Each structure stands twice: as C-alpha cells, then as structure tokens.
Amino acid sequence: MQLEAKNIGFRYGDGPWLFQGVNFTVKPGEIVGLTAPSGRGKTTFCRILAGYEKPLEGSITIEGLPVPTRGFHPVQLIFQHPEKAVNPRWKMEKVLSEGEKPDPELLDLLGIEQEWLTRWPNELSGGELQRFCVARALGSNPHFLIADEMTTMLDAITQAQIWYAVLEIAKKRKMGIIIVSHEEKLMQRLCHRVVELKSF
C-alpha cells in the first residue's frame, strides 16, 4: 500500500501554477515531513492527496491503482482549525460517529473523556476538539493520515499527547503519516525523512 503522487500540477482558475511536476511517495508505516515557506501550496498539495481537490496534471495512486472517488477516502486529512472542522450544531458523539464509531481504546489513548461526548463543540477547548478530529479520522482505519499543521495552535503538553497517540496507532496499523509543519524541531523528532515542496 504505497501512496504515490506523480507529476502533480495545480493552479487556481487561470492563476499562475502553484506547483508543477511534483513527485511524492509515502510507504506504509513511514512518517514523512513536508515543509515549505508560507504560500507555496503545502495545504493545497495536502488537499489534493486527500482527494479534496482534483490535480490538473498528474495522478494520485495507491498501490498503482487510482483512489476511489466514492466512499471512505483512504487518505484522511486533519485540518489546522478543529473548531471549523466540526459541525457546531452536532454533539461530539455524533461528530465521532460520522465515520465508523472509534473503539473505546482509541478514545482512551487520545485522552478523550466519556463526559465530553455529550457536550456541544463550543463547550470544548481547541485541543480537546482536535483530539476528536483525530479520533474521527482514525476511526474508519485510513491507510494514510495527513496532519496539516495539526498541533500548531496547541500547547506543548497537548501536542505531545496527541502525537504520542497518533504515532502509537500508526505503528500498530502500519499507517503512513505526512506531517506539515513549520516547526523544525518537531519534524526532526517525528519524521523518518523531511522533504521540501520547492525541491521536488
């Protein structure tokens, strides 16, 4: 199960090309860092990998096959702002069950407490919400996880807790992770290799 992006090119409308001819591969169980200065299209590239946008050039394949467009996408993206990524009119229980219901073990590992499940999103902090977003994405067993500045706005302890849980699960399931971040120390600590979007 190898995620492969070949010759990807993308631009918005008739604007200038954001990037062209990008090649990128992630093997199962591999943790890859992705870095570039602001505005170079890191997030757009992640959105393309996770199927949110269609690349104008090139193709995304998993194990040589195109990614299915219907049903659960095997590449799940976690956004930077968890408060935008949950429906404000849903209780957390319903938010979690949007994918497959995550098992209690996963919730424990992420430090999600049972009493949070009956709360509304605005009754939880950003860090708590982000745990739910991670649990929702991991619940249905994706093959790859993209963490687009996943812990940028969280304090060091929460960051450490979430990353510990995610790495633990990745190891157990042989799941590939792509980490987008500006924090070099974090990348060095977590990633097997780091690539820069410019130097593709």
Partner 1 sequence: MIPGLKIGTKEEKVKRFYLNRRQKTLLTIVVATIILLSVVVGGAMLDQERIATNLNERNLPPSLKHLFGTDWLGRDMFTRTIMGLSLSMGVGLIGAIGSTSIALVLGMVSATMGKMADRLITWLIDLFLSVPHLVTLILIAFTLGGGFKGIVIGLMLTHWPSLARVIRAEVMQIRSAEYVQISQQMGKSSWWIAVHHIFPHLIPQLLIGFMLMFPHVILHEAAVTFLGLGLSPHEPAIGIILSESMKYLSSGMWWLAFFPGLCLLIIVRTFETIGENFRMLIDPTRANEK
Q: Given the complex with partner 1, which of 81 and 174 has the nearer CB atom?
A: 81
Task: By CB under 8 A, tell whether 98 contacts partner 1.
Answer: yes
Q: Given the complex with partner 1, which of 66 and 71 has the nearer CB atom?
A: 71
Question: Looking at 12, 17, 52, 164, which residue binds partner 1 (CB under 8 A)?
Answer: 52
Task: By CB under 8 A, tell whether 87 contacts partner 1.
Answer: yes
- Closest contact distance (angstroms) between CB of 116 and partner 1 is 18
Q: Given the complex with partner 1, which of 72 and 164 has the nearer CB atom?
A: 72
Q: Given the complex with partner 1, which of 18 and 96 has the nearer CB atom?
A: 96
Question: Looking at 77, 124, 135, 187, which residue binds partner 1 (CB under 8 A)?
Answer: 77
- Closest contact distance (angstroms) between CB of 198 and partner 1 is 27
In the sheet where 176-180 sits, what is the strand order? 75-78, 144-148, 176-180, 31-35, 193-196
